[in-house]
Structure 1
Amino acid sequence: MLIGLLTAVAASICYGTGSVLQAVGSRRAARAEPGAGLTQHGGPNLSSTAKAALTWEFIVGTILDFVGFGLGALAARLLPLFLSQTVISANLVITAVLSVKLLGIRLSRKEWASIGVVCGALVLLATAAGHEGGHHAERSTHWWLLAVTVLLMLGGTVAVRLLGGRAAILAGLLSGLGFGALGVGVRILDGIDPFDPPALLADPALYAIVIAGVGGMYLHTVALQIGSVNGATAALVVGETVLPGAIGVLWLGDASRPGFAWLAAVGFALAVAGAVAVAWYGNHDAPAPAQTPADLRVPVPAP
């Protein structure tokens, strides 16, 4: 349990730091070509997204995301999903704190209070969490995970491109669902223990993980490029925590310690509410392209 918690916290730090750097890279690319790289619907096109991804800040942030992914995958195997995904989603708190230093943001009392709620909720979850359930799921569950992931990522990408500049909330929610599906896939993946490459490559969950990771990262980048990301951040937290946590409890056997179910429920609800409040009260929208880097004030979502 302790190793799993430390691993999830480390993943959260990597994701939070990476997101701040990715935000800086995305905004720098947007300032370099103000008004360019937009679709007819007002959203970023593939070219502008690629340019943002080629900035050094975004590259370093992406490397940290990959490290966070590996640590998060390990945490998903060691902890109940409702605990591992919630701790990882606390990267919003890491992002908020780092933004004070790296982005020059001054946090309000409401933001600090929200951060305190999240930290307290994580203590409640850690106290209430029992051992994780099994890693086995029916083969049909693996295929359903792949089908739903493909539908969400491909269909969601088309919808986001059609909505353009109005797609921040949808992009955030879909990226969160993608990262949530990734956590579920890692949990049920065959061929890990014991290591069996043929079984691993034959598992549909492996390809769901790849699609969810790539699709979630793309939608995450799009959300960073769209003006206000407050709603997108809140939606990402909900998508990344609520659905995987429910799947872990209902189908994978995750449970709290005997007699502590109420404490786990309270901790989970407070963690989600606190993370949403961090995003909501952190109302530092993206600046106009003419502003200088010192004026950059952006709250950032993360996987």
Structure 2
Amino acid sequence: MIIGLVTAVAASACYGTGSVLQAVGSRRSAQQEAAKGASAAGTTQHGGPSLSSTAKAAVTWEFMVGTVLDFVGFALGALAARMLPLFLSQTVISANLIVTALLSIKLLGIRLNRKEWMSIGVVCAALVLLATAAGHEGSGEAARSTHWWLLAITVVLMGGGWIAVHFLGSKAAILAGLLSGLGFGAIGVGVRILDGIDPFDLPTMLADPALYAIFIAGGVGMYLHTVALQIGSVNGATAALVVGETVLPGIIGVVWLGDTSRAGFAWMAVLGFLLAVAGAVAVAWFGEPDAHSATPAVEKDTPEPTAVA
């Protein structure tokens, strides 16, 4: 349990730091494009970021370092998902919201208001309750049909997210964050039920639909998260991601995979889970109005583009 918690906390730190660095890279890239008069080329007709602008954001050094941290966080999160109940591992990993909020103060020049600080405090209290109430993780054994259902649902959610971002444009920040969170949650479920891990058997692993659900959820989820960071509040997008990667995997873990709380502590687990989700939603709600008002601290010295008469 202790090793699993430490692993989940480390994954949370990697994800939180990675999100802020990716936001810095995304916003620096957007400002450079605007300075070149390329803002129109960087958006779709619906006001969202184009694939080319997202690709340009992805090659900034900040974004690449953030992506490396995400991969490290993924590996640590996958390990934690095998060692802890999903409602605990996913929620602890989702505490990257706190890391994101604190680092965004320094790196993005964002000032958190009192309601955001209170919401973060609620999330912290919820994590304490969950850690106290958590029991043993389930076996992870699931019917083969469950593996196929996971792949099918992942394809529908990620494909729907890709389409929605295209048509909603600049209004899709919270939705993109939520769907990216569902994608990362699908990774947690997939890692738990994946065949061929223990003992390691590569042919068995390659034949498991859950493996391809993990790849699809990871790739498209990362794209949607990048879009959310480009067009919305970094704290709001991350909070929406928290809800997506916490709620559904937690429910699946308890209902289908045998995750349990300690005897007599079920009420505490439920309370902690609800508080964690409520706190994350509150951060998204209170933080979203400032989505375009904060100027990244790293870009303060960049000259404004000169208007052409």
Bucket of the pairwise TM-score, normalised by the shorter protein: over 0.9
CA gap 1:76/1:288 in 2 versus in 1, 3 angstroms: closer
Q: CA deviation at 1:274?
A: 1.6
| Structure-2 separation of matches of 1:83 and 1:100 | 27
Give the equivalent residue in structure 2 for 1:293.
Answer: 299
Q: What is the total number of aligned residue pairs between the two structures?
A: 296
**Structure 1 segment 112-131 matched on structure 2, within 5 A:** 112-131=117-136
Give the equivalent residue in structure 2 for 1:154.
Answer: 159
Aligned residue type for 1:210 = F
CA gap 1:292/1:130 in 2 versus in 1, 3 angstroms: closer
| Structure-2 separation of matches of 1:288 and 1:274 | 22
Normalising by structure 1, report the TM-score.
Answer: 0.92
| Structure-2 separation of matches of 1:111 and 1:148 | 33
Q: Is the 8 A contact 1:30 1:289 kept in 2?
A: no
Say whether residues 1:52 and 2:52 are aligned partners.
no
Q: Is the 8 A contact 2:178 2:243 kept in 1?
A: yes
Give the equivalent residue in structure 1 for 2:306.
Answer: none
Give the equivalent residue in structure 2 for 1:178.
Answer: 183
Give the equivalent residue in structure 1 for 2:4.
Answer: 4
| Structure-2 separation of matches of 1:132 and 1:266 | 19
Normalising by structure 2, report the TM-score.
Answer: 0.91
CA gap 1:156/1:109 in 2 versus in 1, 3 angstroms: closer
**Structure 1 segment 1-303 matched on structure 2, within 5 A:** 1-34=1-34, 35=39, 36-228=41-233, 232-282=237-287, 283-287=289-293, 293-294=299-300
Q: Is the 8 A contact 2:27 2:296 kept in 1?
A: no
Q: CA deviation at 1:291?
A: 9.9
CA gap 1:290/1:223 in 2 versus in 1, 3 angstroms: closer
| Structure-1 separation of matches of 2:162 and 2:297 | 30
CA gap 1:278/1:231 in 2 versus in 1, 3 angstroms: closer
Aligned residue type for 2:77 = G
- For structure 1, list consecutive stretches of 5 or more residues without a partner in the other structure: 297-303
CA gap 1:199/1:48 in 2 versus in 1, 3 angstroms: same
Give the equivalent residue in structure 1 for 2:305.
Answer: none
Q: Is the 8 A contact 1:104 1:294 kept in 2?
A: no
CA gap 1:70/1:276 in 2 versus in 1, 3 angstroms: same
